[in-house]
Amino acid sequence: MAYRIGIVGVTGAVGQELLALMAKRNFPVEELRPLASARSAGSKISYGGKEWTVQEAKPEAFEGLDCVIFSAGGSVSLALAPEAVKRGVIVIDNSSAFRMDPKVPLVVPEINADALDNHHGIIANPNCSTAIALMGLFPLHKAFGLKRFFASTYQAVSGTGAEAMRELDTQVRAWVKGEPSPAKVYPHTIAFNLIPHVDSFLEDGYTKEEMKMLNEGRKIMNLPSLKVTTTCVRVPVFRAHSIAISAEFEKPVDVAVARQAIAAFPGAEVCDDTAKKIYPMPLDYAGKEKCGVGRIRKDTLFDNGLSLWVSGDQLWKGAALNAIQIAEALHARGRLARKN
């Protein structure tokens, strides 16, 4: 069965990746309805050997669709996702708008695809850093029982969007020429710098991005008592996030067993041979479906602890790929059928 699919934010960075991945994975599309702001309406999108006209994202644009993927920010999702649901459309939302709503499943298909059986029209995609971190942590949780973890993220500018990627490129070129290039997207220059600030600060000193790792990790893995502390850092990398993790488990850990668990997990691969200087790096995991896990070793702080390093494509597993995998899982369950 082929489906009538809408993409809100189709002209953005994640929207473009959605198109590429749907084609790459041969997702069954009968009709593509590209949706964006009024400014982009009327432009053309090529997909499946056809040209499709971009329409303005507004309530009536969802009529007749089976599924719509939102990648245009939380305010757009809050305003329009319920309108799509009213019209019988399943919504897969890439923003943070509905992630912590108890009525909305927050899904990473390799971990909790069963949650899709209880949706009420909206399904949330997790934050990019959360999804990538869990590709390393969840198989270890299944093997040893996760109690808590510390994480430091190294987040590529792709997490902010196409404008941030252009800013990094511009600043690097200006630096080479000895010319100034003021920061516009970020509060400080990102080229050749690290900014320990992703998303807005909360009263307790953490950022919203840092709290997502805790709250979303608990929900996805169904671990309400999980303890997490995170520091999120923006780094001068174009694409693919990396995360350093130290985790404590209920059971005694074994590095060989840990490697086997990760190797058997569909969302990850072991990339870990320090004798040959092999470990996951952003350049190697940009444009890859699986996340790489390496530097796996016993942690020197925890009695039952492991330290590891995970790299994964923020635009893929952290956003577009996970959304398509949700649609594929719904299709496999017979839950993506059109509403007539």
Q: Rounded distance, CA 242 to CA 279, Å?
A: 11
Mean local confidence (pLDDT), 129-151: 98
pLDDT of amino acid 166: 95
- The residue ranges of every structural domain in the chain are 3-126+319-332, 129-313
DSSP 151-178: EEEEE-GGGT-HHHHHHHHHHHHHHHHT
List pLDDT tens digits, range 21-34. 999 999 999 999 99
241 classed as catalytic: yes
119 classed as catalytic: no
288 has a pLDDT exceeding 60: yes
Mean local confidence (pLDDT), 238-265: 98
337 has a pLDDT exceeding 80: no
Question: So what CATH class is 3-126+319-332?
Answer: alpha beta
91 has a pLDDT exceeding 60: yes
Mean local confidence (pLDDT), 173-179: 97
Q: Rounded distance, CA 172 to CA 190, Å?
A: 9
339 has a pLDDT exceeding 80: no
Q: Rounded distance, CA 42 to CA 315, Å?
A: 26
Q: Rounded distance, CA 165 to CA 155, Å?
A: 12
Whole-structure pTM value: 0.95
340 has a pLDDT exceeding 70: no
pLDDT band at 336 (very low <50, low <70, confident <90, very high): confident
Mean local confidence (pLDDT), 4-12: 94
β-pair partners for 53: 44
Q: Rounded distance, CA 86 to CA 79, Å?
A: 12
Average pLDDT, the chain: 96
pLDDT of amino acid 338: 57
CATH among 3.20.20.80, 3.40.190.10, 3.30.70.20, 3.30.360.10 for 129-313: 3.30.360.10
pLDDT of amino acid 163: 92
pLDDT of amino acid 90: 97
Q: Which of 119, 141, 232, 241 is catalytic?
A: 241
β-pairing, 29-36 vs 67-70, is: unpaired
Q: Which of 128, 232, 271, 291 is catalytic?
A: 128
Mean local confidence (pLDDT), 226-230: 98
Q: How far is CA 291 from CA 36, 118, 323, in A?
A: 30, 28, 16
β-pairing, 44-47 vs 50-53, is: antiparallel
pLDDT band at 13 (very low <50, low <70, confident <90, very high): confident
Q: Rounded distance, CA 94 to CA 323, Å?
A: 7
